[in-house]
Amino acid sequence: MGKAIQIKKATDVNTASIIGAGLIGGWLTARETGIRPLGGVVLAAAGLWAGRTWLAKQGPVTTAALTATYLGAFGASHPLAKKIGAWPSVIAVTTVAAGAACVLSDIKPAQK
């Protein structure tokens, strides 16, 4: 039999990079395939993966706040894109959401 797949412990995952992959990767997937729901799948998968870590490290309150930030970034990117363009909008909202994940979860010691 083959090697078993090993998934990183939730507390060892860097969520800022996951958030970046979700927002930028979701946008690129939707743009390049022309299938917007496929971009949503990427966005959702990254959000679930990051949420697993937020819950394990910081508890439900921080998880709720970071989830709202992540989803808010996605929602804000659309009207912002009309003002500054799609690519700058995605970069701007990703910076905010990934920065929040870094500060509130990644560099902060896990709650006991």
Roughly what angle, to the nearest 10 degrees, separates helices 86-101 and 60-84?
160
| pLDDT the model gives residue 112 | 63
pLDDT in tens, 65-92: 999 999 999 999 999 999 999 999 999 9
Q: How confident is the model at residue 108 (pLDDT cuts 50, 70, 90)?
A: confident
Mean pLDDT value of segment 86-110: 96
φ, ψ (nearest 5 deg) of residue 8: -55, 145
Contact assessment for residue 73 and residue 93, using Cβ atoms and an 8 Å cutoff: yes
Mean pLDDT value of segment 93-98: 98
| pLDDT the model gives residue 1 | 63
- The H or E element that residue 23 is part of is helix 15-33
pLDDT, averaged across the chain: 95
